[in-house]
Amino acid sequence: MALNALSRHIALVGFMGAGKSTLVHPLAMRLGRPAVDVDEGATQIIDEHGMDAFRAHELQRTLFFLEGREPSVLALGGGAVTAEEIRDELTRSAFTILLEVDADTAWKRRGDRPLARDEAEFRQLWAERQSVYRAVADATASDVDGAVLAAAGIHYELGALERLGELVPGDGPVALVADATVMGIHGPRAQEALGGRLASLHEVPAGEAAKQLEVAARLWSELSLDRGATIVALGGGTTTDLVGFAAASYLRGVAWVAVPTTVVGQVDAAIGGKTGIDLPEGKNLVGAFHWPARTVIDPALLETLPERERRQGLAEHVKTELLAGRSLDGRGAAAYKAALCLRDPHDRGPRQWLNLGHTFAHALETGADFDLPHGEAVALGLLAALRLSGRDTAAVVDALDPQPVAADRERAWQALLRDKKRSGDAINVVLLGADGPVVEPRPADEIRAALDTLIS
């Protein structure tokens, strides 16, 4: 069973009226992939040539697109998965998402489909196909955000921590990693959910102190796992950053699962497989792209957050809304980032938009000797990015009220220069253009002046 849609087609399957043709184009647009409605023209072919001719045409057309090299989003016909050849090819080359629909709703949406002209036969066909759909599906969804999350390997559910044992893929041993506070609050339930798969517990420091080489080295030394094992990171963004990096490099790569317990983690840090640790010269200078086998997002875990921690995450949420150009709930914010990461897994294109404000934020954190909370740094960075974009800053000021902070100006500037690529005398920053986010070179003196306004 596929874990995500990286380098794989996304195949939408389900009964007539499930919404496959409705979903395929907006989903493909979100992911920057071609959209193909494989069943297009089915009614005309059936009416003119009969069902047998249509099934032969459907088989040939579906296999043609599934065997294509460019990952696409495909809406398959309701009966396509009854063909063994198509089921086999879905397993080889696709991440298959089932769009579920009950029989009553499907009948109401039947339109003029040839197989929907007798209600009793229609309902019998619906019942017969349910087991086939479930057998072939890697995930289920009901809307575009849900399909994006599923394709990224993200399970978003209230109370999901209680099902952690079944949500961690595979059946091998599990090492659970958290800081002392998180282990004390959520660790017992996580351990109970993991049951007999739990092989070991590991505590790491809280906050940015976790993202240090010596902490990673200690974790490597403590782990006693084979390549069939999984490391579970239970905590905020610093914990998932550290554990993802440790998993990427331990035994040259083992599976890991992110279980974010903060707003920052649930809308940003735990999504997309960008992992790393810090150096004295700057944040995240050592790391790897190592996509989680699954990200388990349980909004109930946020209920224990102190108010200051909640506000740290709000900065990342505001950033995502600025990029999306609309209001988002937590699920929508997670889906927005997941879509960009699926489009650009290695951060060479549109995924860079997620750095809005972060060029300045990381510099400020370094200049403050990592004693500045990430959310406060991001809030200031967003302020600078909006000013450089010529945009109204009210959305950031009203929600986050960022204030200049104490930091070493020269150290912050050197960290900024090291954080991002330069183009001659210019520095590339993410800004908001007329049509959305852009990566734009700006003169170094303009960027330094913007940085200086953020330092008290």
pLDDT in tens, 319-355: 999 999 999 999 999 999 999 999 999 999 999 999 9
For the domain covering 155-305, report its CATH number. Answer: 3.40.50.1970
pLDDT of residue 370: 87
Do strands 9-13 and 73-75 pair parallel, antiparallel, or not at all (unpaired)? parallel
Measured in degrees and rounded to the nearest 5, phi and psi for residue 198 equal -70, 120
Nearest-angstrom CA–CA distance, 282 and 382: 19
pLDDT in tens, 199-256: 999 999 999 899 999 999 999 999 999 999 999 999 999 999 999 999 999 999 999 9
Q: What are the residue boundaries of the structural domains of the chain, listed by start?
A: 9-143, 155-305, 344-452
User: For the chain, what percent of residues have pLDDT higher than 90?
Assistant: 82
385, 432 in Cβ contact below 8 A?
Answer: yes
Structure tokens at 233: 């990171």
Nearest-angstrom CA–CA distance, 413 and 361: 11
pLDDT in tens, 347-390: 999 999 999 999 999 999 999 998 898 889 999 999 999 999 99
Matching fold, domains 155-305 and 344-452 = no
Do strands 139-141 and 198-204 pair parallel, antiparallel, or not at all (unpaired)? unpaired
Measured in degrees and rounded to the nearest 5, phi and psi for residue 148 equal -60, -50
- pLDDT category, 49, cuts 50, 70, 90? low
pLDDT of residue 41: 62
Residue 420 in this model has a pLDDT that exceeds 60? no
Out of 13-17, 156-160, 335-339, pick the least confident: 13-17
Structure tokens at 39: 């069943």
Residue 281 in this model has a pLDDT that exceeds 90? no
Backbone region of residue 269 per phi and psi (left: phi > 0; alpha: psi in -120 to 50; beta: other values): alpha
pLDDT of residue 43: 62
Nearest-angstrom CA–CA distance, 18 and 22: 9
Measured in degrees and rounded to the nearest 5, phi and psi for residue 277 equal -130, 170
pLDDT of residue 422: 62
Torsion (CA) 185, 187, 193, 195 in degrees, nearest 10: -150
Q: What would the DSSP string read from start to end of 327-392?
A: ---HHHHHHHHHHHHHH-TTSSSGGGGGGTTHHHHHHHHHHTTT-S-HHHHHHHHHHHHHHHHT--
- Tell the burial category of 203 from Cβ atoms under 10 Å away from its Cβ (0-12, 13-18, 19+): middle
For the domain covering 9-143, report its CATH number. Answer: 3.40.50.300
Sign of torsion over alpha carbons 249, 211, 293, 221: positive
pLDDT of residue 231: 98
Read off the pLDDT of each residue in 86-91 and give the average, rounded to a whole number: 96
For the domain covering 344-452, report its CATH number. Answer: 1.20.1090.10
The single-letter DSSP state of residue 41 is: T
Measured in degrees and rounded to the nearest 5, phi and psi for residue 199 equal -100, -35
Find tokens 């874990």 and name the residue. Answer: 3
Structure tokens at 307: 């108010």
Residue 85 in this model has a pLDDT that exceeds 70? yes
Rounded to a whole number of angstroms, the distance between the first and last alpha carbons of the chain is 53
199, 175 in Cβ contact below 8 A?
Answer: yes
Amino acid of residue 339 = A
Residue 208 half-sphere exposure, CB side, CA atoms within 13 Å?
A: 17
Q: Which residues contact 196 (CB under 8 A, 6 or more apart)?
A: none
Output the average pLDDT for the chain. Answer: 93
Residue 421 in this model has a pLDDT that exceeds 70? no
Among residues 287, 275, 274, the alpha carbon closest in space to that of 347 is found at: 274
pLDDT of residue 111: 78
338, 152 in Cβ contact below 8 A?
Answer: yes
C-alpha to C-alpha distances, 212 to 282, 286, 370, nearest whole angstrom:
11, 10, 12
User: For the chain, what percent of residues have pLDDT higher than 70?
Assistant: 96
- pLDDT category, 1, cuts 50, 70, 90? confident
